[in-house]
Amino acid sequence: MINPIGSDKLNPLFVSDESQRNALIDEAQGLPSLLVSSATAANAVMFGGGYFNPLTGFMNLADALSVAENMETTSGQFFPVPILNLVKSTESIKNTSRIALRDPNVDGNPVVAIQQIATIETVSEAQMARMTDKVYSTSDPDHPGVAAFNAQGNIAVSGAIQVLNYSYFETDFGGTFRTAVQIRSEIEQRGWKRVVAFQTRNPMHLAHEELCHMAMDRLDCDGLVIHMLLGKLKAGDIPADVRDDAIRTMVKLYFSENSAMVTGYGFDMLYAGPREAVLHAYFRQNMGASHFIIGRDHAGVGDYYGAFDAQTIFDTEIPKDALQIEIFRADHTAWSNKLGRVVMMSEAPNHSKEDFVLLSGTRMREMLGQGIAPPKEFSRPEVAEILINYYQSLDAG
């Protein structure tokens, strides 16, 4: 199996020893605490699951700025985006070196992790702006990732963490949420050697399904890991439980036995386009995938990124030998009326736009909300039924 990044084995930061974890939970009740942002809590979950291996905690300002500029920490460790614990005030943690990080996404704000403070640094307006521009390629406050990043605060608390739970992900998505450690273990149990991963924050329509089949066939893969984002999304995105139901139904009906694994991870979407595509590849290598599908406008939003910027960044900006995982570069896929099957549009010569079955997201939502199933060339009927029920429940509410 492919090695994790920066070490021979994964070093997840979740405290797996139950007695030690219970002792830390007891200790946490007496520690000064911070109510952290949703992004910070989700990052703690990613640390806990081994996805951010070999990082041991939240970055200091020098490392964050270095990562933003050239995707390497000051010591030369590759990482695609700054991972900061940003807060608006540190009044509650003055004169202490060990603090509890409280989860904003769970009732009662339980402690998600304990952090050993290494530094507390004020991030200047210029430094926030530089990191924003480098990671998101824009400073537009209407960009959802830019808005979320800059809303957290400008005080960075760095240091190693010990993760005590997986927030709401393990309880709300118990059948789907998996750590990188668990996915590696299941890949090994299934006997897969070559594994391709598919990232999604949306339900999978026929074109997505066929793209996965294409990648598996062309790469000669033993298995596919459908890895869906379970964290915070932007307004209008379909909730994780609905996506989960739709994807599991598709896999059950249209994938052969022991060929596809449906999993999810606890992370708040950045919508950072190319940089986030690299981050996605980073933690897919850590979870054991040898290949990763990156399609048109991967991790993008609006018109902030070029259609294939998330692919070309792997050629132009990543430090040499930073990643072992290989990228499967996909174009937009759609049903060809001429050929009677789903194709990559770039691989379909002598086609005009009218030769493909294409639906805009807006038109798709309109149809589903009206109880109209999209064409069978666009969506499996069983998937469409699940989405129709969801959109009609919104209208009923």
The proportion of the chain whose per-residue pLDDT surpasses 90, expressed as a percent, equals: 85
| Bigger pLDDT: 302 vs 133 | 133
pTM of whole model > 0.85? Answer: yes
Active site (annotated) includes residue 154: no
The tens digit of pLDDT for each residue in 363-378 reads 888 888 889 999 999 9
pLDDT at residue 228 greater than cutoff 60? yes
Active site (annotated) includes residue 202: yes
- The dihedrals phi and psi of 351, each to the nearest 5 degrees, come to -115, 145
Structure confidence at residue 280 as a pLDDT band (50, 70, 90): very high
| Bigger pLDDT: 239 vs 61 | 61
Neighbours of 200 (CB within 10 A): 16
Query: So what's the pLDDT on residue 396?
Result: 66
Structure confidence at residue 19 as a pLDDT band (50, 70, 90): very high
Query: So what's the pLDDT on residue 239?
Result: 82
Which range among 25-34, 93-102, 386-395 shows the weakest confidence by mean pLDDT?
Answer: 386-395
Q: What is the rounded average pLDDT for all residues in the chain?
A: 94
Query: So what's the pLDDT on residue 131?
Result: 98
- Per annotation, catalytic residue among 202, 286, 296, 341: 202
**What fold characterizes domain 176-396?**
Rossmann fold (3.40.50)
Asked whether the bond before 54 is cis by omega within 30 degrees of 0, the reply is yes
Distance (Å, whole) CA 202 – CA 246: 10
Closest CA to 110 of 47, 234, 24, 233: 24
Query: So what's the pLDDT on residue 397?
Result: 57
- Per annotation, catalytic residue among 130, 201, 248, 365: 201
The two tokens of residue 344 are: 């990559």
**CA 259 centroid distance within chain:** 22
| Residues 265, 117, 37: CA angle, nearest 5 degrees | 40
Query: So what's the pLDDT on residue 366?
Result: 85
Task: Read off the pLDDT of each residue in 122-134 and give the average, rounded to a whole number.
Answer: 98
Start and end residues for every CATH 3.40.50.620 domain found in the chain: 176-396
Start and end residues for every CATH 3.10.400.10 domain found in the chain: 18-170
Task: Read off the pLDDT of each residue in 179-184 and give the average, rounded to a whole number.
Answer: 98
Query: So what's the pLDDT on residue 202?
Result: 84
The tens digit of pLDDT for each residue in 297-345 reads 899 999 999 999 999 999 999 988 999 999 999 998 999 999 999 999 9
The class (CATH top level) of 18-170 is alpha beta
Residue 50 backbone zone (phi > 0: left; psi -120 to 50: alpha; other: beta): left
Query: So what's the pLDDT on residue 329?
Result: 96
Cβ neighbours for 189, distance < 8 A, ≥ 6 positions apart: none
